[in-house]
Amino acid sequence: MAYVVCEPCAGCKYTDCVEVCPCECFHHDDKMVYIDPDKCIDCAACMSACPVEAIYSEEDVPEEWQHYIELNATKASELPAITEMQEPLADS
β-strands 3-5, 33-35 pairing? unpaired
Kindly report, residue by residue over 41-88, the tens digit of the pLDDT.
999 999 999 999 999 999 999 999 999 999 999 999 999 999 998 888
Is it the case that residue 90 has pLDDT exceeding 90? no
| Res. 1 pLDDT band, cuts 50 70 90 | confident
Residue 62: Cβ within 10 Å count: 10
Name the class of domain 3-78.
alpha beta
Residue 70: Cβ within 10 Å count: 11
Ranges of each domain in the chain? 3-78
Asked whether 54 and 9 are in contact (CB, 8 A), the reply is yes
Kindly report, residue by residue over 16-42, the tens digit of the pLDDT.
999 999 999 999 999 999 999 999 999
